Amino acid sequence: MIINIPENSDFSIHNIPFGIFSTKDRSPRAGVAIGEHILDLAAVAELDVFEFNTAVFEKEVLNDFIGLGKAITSKVRTNIQAWLRDEQSVLANKPELFVKQADAQMHLPVYIGDYTDFYSSIEHATNVGKMFRDPENALLPNWKHIPVGYHGRASSIIVSGEPILRPKGQTMPNGADKPIFGPTQRLDFELEMGFITGKNSELGESVSTAEAEDYIFGLVLFNDWSARDIQKWEYVPLGPFLAKNFASSISPWIVTLEALEPFRVKGPKQEPKVLPYLQYEGAKNYDIELEVGIIPQGSEEQTICQSNFKYMYWNMVQQLAHHTVNGCNFNIGDLCGSGTISGKDDNSYGSMLELAWMGTKPLKMKDGSERKFINDGDTVVMRGFGKKNGVRVGFGEVSTKVLPAKP
Ligand code: MN
């Protein structure tokens, strides 16, 4: 191997995720993560080893690179794997091609034109239905027939490491007769994964479940920040608005669908049977272990949730087929959030709302404090990886610190 890769690294030779980084003397550019390093693709391109216009690696986003199509992007990934494995390859004895991740700043990997968030975990939808509506009829009648979603806000998507401000808004306190305005008292995270589209679809065109994987470039970890008190007051009848669009955080490295191939698993049985345009063949879920930790200000991290992407009731190909069935078009770089990923066990719930059950079961922290929701000064960290037969492919992390609301 050309470069040392620590055992258990998320960024193993099997991964090769794409991102945008900069350092003190390198402007934002494309790279791949390998072990604790980044391979500078703009620098590799200068070796004249690629047969396409490598100006795409000098851009501040990956959209143009992704737009070259999977035939090319996939070959770049497998070429890099081969070169890294071969001590005599073009990458040999060229330390200037590698940058330590610790010395680099990561940026949003793509320009995200549009962002949609789904609601595809049956456990999450059931938990929320029980809390907000009716425990006897937790799932609404449409839920098992439609991958429910809403159009989110792309402008406020940020990359791991950027802090957020506690949002302010309008809420209706329990028992009050008129709303109040102020910082949210119920700031929450949502543990999600997001897929980034890699191919445009035309307005009026529908992408089938069989074609959908062609349109998915790769995945990131996604924290869909939510203000539950604002959400509760505003969401009827059109769904989330200001409770969600103040910030959403993503991990910086896009892990390709090809890299996730070993972790394919079958999803849960869908009963009743879905309409033909939502039916699909094969294993379309992915076994990706997920966890969430909270780092209180000045204290150590505590894991509060362990979940898995494989629990999703609706999968990505169904989400994309549904999203385009009416002819809605997709552009390269669009982002679709999975919806909060909760499992069956109460430590696998993907939000504080569920973990602390609307504040009725506060979580005990190691520093003696309690959490019903997220406090100022807390950093929320999400991680995810697949592991099978000695192959590990991970996402790194999405980490976001919460700062007090603006006065
Ligand atoms: Mn969400």
Region 360-375: mean pLDDT is 96
Determine the pLDDT at residue 61: 98
The answer to whether the CB of 218 falls within 8 A of the CB of 17 is: yes
Q: In this predicted model, what pLDDT tens digit does every residue of 233-250 receive, in sequence order?
A: 999 999 999 999 999 999
User: Which residue shows structure tokens 């610190």?
Assistant: 401
Region 64-86: mean pLDDT is 98
DSSP class of residue 279 equals -
Domain 115-403 annotated CATH 3.40.1160.10: no
Query: Quick one: fold of 18-107?
Result: SH3 type barrels. (2.30.30)
Confidence of residue 133 (pLDDT cuts 50, 70, 90): confident
Cα 324 from Cα 38, distance rounded (Å): 36
The answer to whether the CB of 188 falls within 8 A of the CB of 353 is: yes
Computed over every residue of the chain, the mean pLDDT equals: 97
Residue 239 corresponds to which tokens in the numbers above? 């769904």
- State the distance from the centre of ligand 1 to the C-alpha of 145, rounded, in angstroms: 19
Region 318-343: mean pLDDT is 98
Smallest Cα–Cα separation from 262: which of 132, 389, 109? Answer: 389
- State the distance from the centre of ligand 1 to the C-alpha of 191, rounded, in angstroms: 8
- State the distance from the centre of ligand 1 to the C-alpha of 40, rounded, in angstroms: 33
Q: Which amino acid is at 153?
A: R
- 286 CB-side CA count, 13 A: 29
Indicate if 124 belongs to the active site.
yes
Q: Which amino acid is at 59?
A: K
pTM value surpassing 0.85: yes
- State the distance from the centre of ligand 1 to the C-alpha of 366, rounded, in angstroms: 28
* DSSP track, 376-403: TT-EEEEEEEEEETTEEEEEEEEEEEEE
- State the distance from the centre of ligand 1 to the C-alpha of 216, rounded, in angstroms: 19
**Residue 407, preceding peptide bond in cis (omega within 30° of 0):** no
Q: Which secondary structure element, helix H or strand E, spans residue 130, and what is its range?
A: helix 122-132
Q: What angle do CA 71, 160, 155 make, to 5 degrees?
A: 80
Q: Can you give the residue ranges of every domain in the chain?
A: 18-107, 115-403
Q: Which of 37, 107, 124, 323 is catalytic?
A: 124
Q: Which amino acid is at 220?
A: V
pLDDT at position 196 over 90: yes
Q: What angle do CA 228, 234, 240 make, to 5 degrees?
A: 70
Distance of CA 193 to CAs 18, 58, 72, 196, 222, Å? 16, 27, 25, 10, 5
